[in-house]
Amino acid sequence: MVQLQVVPDDRRERARDRKRRRFLAAAGRVIDERGLAGLTMQAVAEELDCAVGTIYTYFDSKAALLAALQAEAVETLVASYRTAAASWDPVLDEGEGLDPGLRALVHLQAFGAFFCAASVVLADEFHLQRLLLSERPPGSSAVDQRRPMAVLERLFEIPRSLVDAAVACDVLEPGDTLERVVRWLAALDGVLLLDALAGVDRHLFRGQHHGRALTADLLVGWGADRADVEVAASHVDRLAAVGPLAPPPHGPGYE
């Protein structure tokens, strides 16, 4: 009897999740075609040829729909980073290995390099996280305005831990970690826009090159020794030679 009750509920939940994902995929296509300003519940309904009221049973507002879409994008970015990072320590352990301080700098610069690579490899997800840091959330209610914060906290989670680890190793001076991470990711989001000008001057407007240089400059500004930062950068080059810095994610939900 218990089994007969559980299975249908589980089936209904899976069906609901599939429909929710269809709405999110359609919302992503609308943003691709019309930009964030063109994202409306009606536009999503038209994309799927369904009643707009159906969407409201899953998302109570455009802000809720966008926040869910951005949360999914950030989870994909996080999963991609973790997939890449899982292979880094064995490479860094080759030979005599690295001392903890230098290893912390390598991981910081590797994250910056991952972020730059993701702007190309995971372009849709990257665009959605960029909107988190550059566009005012839709909707005027206090709830709508607060929705992105939980997604932002997830986005900041990994770089915060990396900055804290470097401070603990005394390779960075103590400081406000959250402020540093906000400044770092917002600056990378901005400098990577230079890729759009590659057709003007392919050498000058290299977003990923400038992004990695920006990370190095910030680390020096936060107290790291320039020579150590340069050595760490050479190790990131080793990691990039072993495998993609922003690979397709692996793990639950990404098989």
In the chain, pLDDT over 70 holds for what percent of residues?
Answer: 93
What CATH number did the domain enclosing 16 receive? 1.10.10.60
Mean pLDDT, rounded, for 127-150 = 84
- The model's confidence at residue 240, banded by pLDDT at 50, 70 and 90, is very high
What average pLDDT does this structure show over 225-241?
A: 96
Residue 121: strand, helix, or coil: helix
Token output for 75: 């989870």
Question: Is residue 200 in a domain?
Answer: yes
Q: Which of 161, 156, 163, 108 is nearest to 132 (CA)?
A: 156
Shared-domain flag, residues 114 and 20: no
Helix (H, G, I), strand (E, B) or coil at 98: coil
Same domain, 49 and 172: no
- Rounded Cα distance, 190 and 152, in Å: 17
In a domain, 177, yes or no: yes
254: pLDDT strictly greater than 80: no
The DSSP secondary structure of 218-231, one letter per residue, reads: HHHHTT--HHHHHH
Measured from the Cβ of residue 194, the count of other Cβ atoms closer than 10 Å reads 18
Rounded Cα–Cα distance for residues 73 and 242 (Å)? 26
Token readout for 98 is: 């690295």
| 79 and 193 assigned to the same domain | yes
Please tell me the distance from the alpha carbon of residue 55 to that of residue 16, in angstroms, as a whole number. 12
Whether residue 227 sits in one domain with residue 106: yes
Question: What average pLDDT does this structure show over 53-73?
Answer: 90
99, 219: one domain: yes
- 172/235 same-domain check: yes
**pLDDT at res. 2:** 46
CB contact set of 192 (below 8 Å; sequence gap of 6+)? 116, 119, 207, 208, 210, 211
Q: Tell me 194's DSSP state.
A: G
**Residue pLDDT, tens place only, 179-208:** 999 999 999 999 999 999 999 998 999 999
Specify whether 126 is located in the same domain as 230.
yes
Whether 121 and 10 share a structural domain: no
Q: How confident is the model at residue 1 (pLDDT cuts 50, 70, 90)?
A: very low
Tell me which residue of 249, 247, 251, 226 sits closest to 109, measured CA to CA: 226
Q: Is residue 248 in a domain?
A: no
Q: What is the pLDDT of residue 253?
A: 61
Task: Tell me, yes or no, whether 252 lies in a domain.
Answer: no
Q: What mean pLDDT is reported for the chain?
A: 90
Helical packing angle, 123-134 and 62-85, nearest 10°: 120
Q: Is the dihedral of CA 138, 140, 143, 148 positive or negative?
A: positive
CA pair distance 235, 106, nearest whole angstrom: 7
Same domain, 98 and 215: yes
Q: Which of 229, 211, 183 is nearest to 113 (CA)?
A: 211
**In the chain, how many domains are there?**
2
Residues 160 and 96 in one domain: yes
Q: What is the arithmetic mean of pLDDT over 71-93?
A: 93
Residue 7 in domain: yes
- Amino acid 37: pLDDT: 81
End-to-end, the C-alpha distance of the chain in Å comes to 33
Q: pTM for this structure?
A: 0.87
Would 126 be classed as within a structural domain?
yes
Q: Which of 59, 82, 106 is the last residue of a domain?
A: 59
Q: Which residue in 138, 101, 65, 113 sits closest to 245, CA to CA?
A: 113
The whole domain housing 41 covers 1-59
Q: Is the pLDDT of residue 82 over 90?
A: yes
Residues 169, 75 share a domain: yes
20 vs 158: which has the higher pLDDT? 158
Q: What is the pLDDT of residues 13-48, one digit of tens each?
A: 888 888 888 999 898 898 888 887 888 899 999 999
